């Protein structure tokens, strides 16, 4: 019973393949060769670079009287991918500062401002403080103010030098907390032999830590009737709580010497001084009021006298209101910062005058194409080795999106989002985009998912293996997707990584030796970014290495490797079927690929250890890439152009007579039927086996000649 069921299934499959073969030969699968011009869906030409603006504000110190002490407060223009470091360099070139430096002080891999030299001044740096950073008045988490952070139009980047322990006045709440914590001091202020008239507290503060004021003295002392502020200091001195003190000619505290012997004295320029408070309120400014902290003021019971060592312009960050006021008054600079041009897809589409396949080769090619196209029905979901996903891309490329199970493809993409490793995101983005689905807005049970952003930001999504970076680049280029230049998997980082991983011979390694498959899979990615100098250099070397890896029979070792090579060659505009491209040799890569076909034209012969489904899928992918090159008459990258539906197999007469469609134009109407009536299908089906026999015989002869030559050389 099982045998009968299997037989019926096989018959049904072959019947479907035959019907599709007839459809292909009659022109039922639309191809770009006869399509009307539709809207282009390729990469838009890059327009003139936009001129943007960003404001740089640098502050060193904030006065209670005059506000922030400004070093720079200026708006600079920039183009391209300018960075924070570029901004500081522009300020230096404009003469707004004399110097700057960035450093990775915390070993995080990111550099932040560590030193700045104001115009005509000394470098502001050192362990006593740090440069704090803000964006629009809000403390930055480091994402916008690192040296390599890209500038964004309208940003206001703000930097303030902050002392680790600034000399500032405590708040009323902090003074109150200190008063509640005051210890009882020894001795009596005033006449020690007289009756006690009350008690008074004295708090002396120098510096503000993250946890609050640093108290040098915080004690309560008893005092006798008529005792003064000076008597209170004398009691503290006698108790050993301070070593010395002095008041100036106006009666205000001028200096103290701590119990540790450190003198803190008002300098002649009054850049620092002792601020006086009483019960948490500023004191010492109204001469008409007694008991305001002067040395002769008489104490009253419960007095809390407070003294804080303060810088006239303490190194602290401005308030949000002060930052805003500065931003509103920034002056405009004239110079323009020329940042690095964004790394965007920049494919080249050299024209290709595709060779006309000879009769037997063309017969095998078309029969094999038709039969393998018949296996695309229902593609798109999860499968072993992701074969179904790639088939969905191929269906889109030949203009048959209707064959795909789009819901299954979306479900697979959601799974990829949740498991980004193993190139899952790369594959899903390429496939969804080919199907016309925006990979930044993938529907899921929790709203929409942005697969592109996930790929760019998740370090686990791109492995160290070169093909992982290559398919990430192809994913970005498959649609109109933007990736932040500072993303962990940015295009710049991926291209630089591929350049660094390339061997001196130009190939890419696997298991310690140059691997054809890996090299061939990297080439389409480099091809689509070849406007970048680094990518172009790596591309040229990789193509040369791939050419050098070709065998004497035209193949690259097996079906899979030869298929990947054909795809790579098509992506750079090299015709894999042109004998002139291969030094006049009849052993071309396409001919070698077709020589692996089965006698019944249902797929490719599978070598020991290879999986038939994967071999057939990759082989068909190569046929589609080749057809795309023929139809467009230009370089064809299946991964970025599948969405255009340009690689359908036209009827033979149309293929011969129609001019190629533009390489960046999609099929106008994928439901249109081309009527030819050339009746070539029965003949093609009947002669395919004979044609394959001739082809294989020719390839075998080439291989024997190659072996004979090698044997002669050994002799």
Q: Find the distance separating the first CA and the last CA of the chain, reported in whole Å.
A: 59
SS (H, E, C) 429-451: HHHHHHCCCCCCCEEECCEEECH
| Poorest-pLDDT segment among 27-31, 44-48, 431-435, 442-446 | 27-31
Q: What is the pTM of this model?
A: 0.60
Closest residue by Cα to residue 371 from 562, 600, 612: 600
Question: Domain 345-710 belongs to what architecture?
Answer: Alpha/alpha barrel (1.50)
For residue range 340-373, what is the model confidence (pLDDT) as tens digits? Answer: 666 889 888 889 888 888 888 899 999 999 999 9
Inform me whether the pLDDT recorded for 377 exceeds 60: yes
Distance from C-alpha of 122 to C-alpha of 134, rounded to nearest angstrom: 23
DSSP 123: -
Asked whether the beta carbons of 131 and 112 are under 8 A apart, the reply is yes
For residue range 217-235, what is the model confidence (pLDDT) as tens digits? Answer: 999 999 999 999 999 999 9
For residue range 457-466, what is the model confidence (pLDDT) as tens digits? Answer: 999 999 999 9
Closest residue by Cα to residue 511 from 470, 465, 565: 465
Asked whether the beta carbons of 392 and 380 are under 8 A apart, the reply is yes
Mean pLDDT of 584-605: 90
- The C-alpha angle with vertex 599 and arms to 593 and 602, in degrees rounded to 5, equals 75
Return the pLDDT at 674.
28
For residue range 77-115, what is the model confidence (pLDDT) as tens digits? Answer: 988 778 899 999 999 999 999 999 999 988 888 899 999
Asked whether the beta carbons of 617 and 601 are under 8 A apart, the reply is no
Return the pLDDT at 335.
77
Inform me whether the pLDDT recorded for 324 exceeds 90: yes
**Encoded tokens for 400:** 């048959």
Return the pLDDT at 64.
87
Selected from 1.20.1600.10, 2.170.130.30, 3.40.190.10, 3.40.50.9100, the CATH number assigned to the domain covering 172-311 reads: 2.170.130.30
Return the pLDDT at 670.
31
Inform me whether the pLDDT recorded for 339 exceeds 60: yes
Distance from C-alpha of 302 to C-alpha of 200, rounded to nearest angstrom: 5
Distance from C-alpha of 34 to C-alpha of 667, rounded to nearest angstrom: 9
Mean pLDDT of 63-83: 91
Q: Per-residue confidence at 565, pLDDT binned at 50, 70, 90?
A: very high
| Poorest-pLDDT segment among 154-158, 241-245, 486-490, 530-534 | 486-490
> What are the residues facing 491 on neighbouring strands?
none
Inform me whether the pLDDT recorded for 170 exceeds 80: yes
Return the pLDDT at 355.
86
For residue range 45-55, what is the model confidence (pLDDT) as tens digits? Answer: 334 567 889 99
> What are the residues facing 564 on neighbouring strands?
none
Return the pLDDT at 343.
84
Q: Per-residue confidence at 396, pLDDT binned at 50, 70, 90?
A: very high
Closest residue by Cα to residue 566 from 589, 540, 533: 589
Residues of the chain with CATH 2.170.130.30: 52-164+316-338, 172-311
| Poorest-pLDDT segment among 162-171, 389-398, 585-594, 631-640 | 585-594
Task: Look at the domain 52-164+316-338 and name its fold.
Answer: Ferric Hydroxamate Uptake Protein; Chain A, domain 1 (2.170.130)
Asked whether the beta carbons of 459 and 494 are under 8 A apart, the reply is no
Higher pLDDT, 668 or 260: 260
Asked whether the beta carbons of 700 and 671 are under 8 A apart, the reply is no
Inform me whether the pLDDT recorded for 264 exceeds 70: yes
Determine what percent of the chain is predicted with pLDDT higher than 70: 82
Distance from C-alpha of 685 to C-alpha of 21, rounded to nearest angstrom: 8
Return the pLDDT at 14.
44
Q: Per-residue confidence at 271, pLDDT binned at 50, 70, 90?
A: very high
Distance of CA 518 to the CA centre of its chain: 24
Residues of the chain with CATH 1.50.10: 345-710
Return the pLDDT at 515.
93
Inform me whether the pLDDT recorded for 19 exceeds 50: no
Closest residue by Cα to residue 247 from 237, 259, 239, 238: 237
């Amino acid at each position: 019973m099982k045998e009968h069921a299997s037989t019926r299934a096989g018959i049904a499959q072959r019947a479907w393949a035959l019907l599709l073969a007839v459809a292909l030969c009659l022109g039922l699968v639309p191809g770009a060769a006869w399509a009307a011009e539709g809207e282009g869906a390729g990469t838009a030409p890059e327009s003139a670079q936009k001129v943007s603006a960003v404001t740089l504000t640098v502050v060193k110190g904030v006065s209670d009287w005059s506000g922030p002490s400004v070093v720079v407060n200026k708006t600079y223009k920039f183009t391209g991918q300018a960075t924070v470091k570029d901004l500081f360099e522009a300020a230096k070139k404009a003469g707004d500062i004399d110097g700057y430096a960035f450093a990775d002080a915390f070993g995080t891999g990111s550099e932040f401002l560590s030193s700045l030299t104001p115009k005509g001044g000394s470098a502001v740096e050192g362990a006593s403080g740090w440069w704090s950073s803000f964006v629009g008045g809000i403390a930055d988490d480091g994402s916008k103010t690192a040296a390599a952070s890209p500038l964004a139009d309208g940003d206001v980047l703000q930097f303030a030098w902050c002392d680790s322990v600034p000399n500032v006045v405590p708040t009323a709440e902090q003074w109150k907390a200190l008063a509640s914590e005051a210890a009882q001091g020894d001795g009596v202020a005033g006449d020690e032999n007289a009756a006690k008239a009350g008690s008074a507290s004295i708090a002396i503060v120098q510096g503000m830590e993250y946890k609050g004021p640093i108290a040098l003295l915080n004690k309560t002392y008893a005092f006798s009737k008529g005792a003064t502020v000076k008597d209170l200091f004398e009691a503290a001195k006698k108790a050993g709580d301070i070593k010395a003190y002095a008041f100036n000619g106006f009666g205000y505290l001028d200096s103290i010497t701590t119990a540790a012997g450190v003198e803190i004295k008002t300098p002649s320029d009054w850049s620092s001084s002792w601020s006086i408070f009483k019960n948490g309120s500023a004191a010492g400014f109204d001469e008409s009021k007694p008991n305001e902290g002067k040395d002769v003021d008489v104490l009253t019971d419960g007095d809390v006298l407070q003294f804080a060592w303060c810088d006239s312009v303490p190194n602290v960050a401005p308030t949000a209101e002060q930052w805003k006021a500065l931003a509103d008054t920034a002056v405009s600079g004239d110079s323009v910062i020329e940042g690095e041009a964004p790394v965007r897809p920049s494919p080249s589409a050299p024209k290709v005058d595709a060779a006309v396949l000879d009769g037997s080769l063309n017969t095998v090619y078309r029969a094999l194409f038709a039969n393998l196209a018949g296996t695309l029905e229902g593609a798109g979901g999860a499968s072993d080795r992701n074969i179904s996903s790639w088939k969905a891309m191929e269906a889109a490329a030949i203009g048959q999106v209707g064959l795909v199970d789009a819901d299954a493809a979306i479900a697979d993409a959601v799974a990829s989002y949740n498991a980004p490793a193993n190139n899952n995101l790369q594959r899903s983005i390429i496939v969804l985009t080919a199907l016309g689905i925006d990979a930044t807005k993938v529907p899921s049970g929790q709203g929409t998912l942005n697969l592109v952003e996930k790929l760019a930001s998740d370090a686990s999504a791109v492995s160290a293996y070169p093909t992982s970076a290559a398919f990430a680049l192809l994913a970005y280029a498959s649609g109109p997707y933007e990736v932040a230049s500072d993303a962990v998997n940015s295009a710049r980082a991926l291209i630089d990584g591929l350049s660094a991983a390339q061997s001196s011979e130009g190939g890419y390694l696997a298991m310690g030796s140059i691997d054809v498959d890996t090299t061939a899979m990297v080439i389409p990615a480099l091809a689509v970014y070849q406007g970048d100098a680094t990518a172009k250099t790596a591309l040229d070397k990789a193509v040369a290495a791939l050419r050098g890896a070709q065998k004497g029979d035209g193949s690259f070792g097996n079906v899979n490797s030869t298929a990947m090579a054909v795809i790579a060659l098509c992506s750079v505009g090299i015709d894999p079927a042109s004998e002139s491209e291969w030094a006049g040799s009849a052993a071309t890569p396409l001919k070698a690929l077709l020589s692996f076909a089965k006698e019944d034209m249902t797929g490719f012969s599978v070598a020991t250890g290879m999986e038939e489904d994967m071999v057939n899928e990759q082989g068909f992918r190569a046929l589609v890439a080749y057809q795309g090159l023929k139809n467009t008459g230009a370089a064809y990258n299946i991964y970025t152009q599948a969405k255009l539906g340009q690689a359908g197999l036209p009827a033979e007469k149309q293929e011969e007579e129609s001019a190629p469609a533009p390489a960046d134009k999609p099929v106008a109407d994928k439901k249109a039927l081309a009527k030819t009536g050339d009746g070539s299908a029965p003949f093609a089906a009947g002669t395919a086996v004979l044609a394959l026999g001739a082809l294989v015989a020719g390839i075998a002869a080439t291989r024997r000649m190659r072996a004979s030559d090698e044997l002669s050389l050994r002799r």
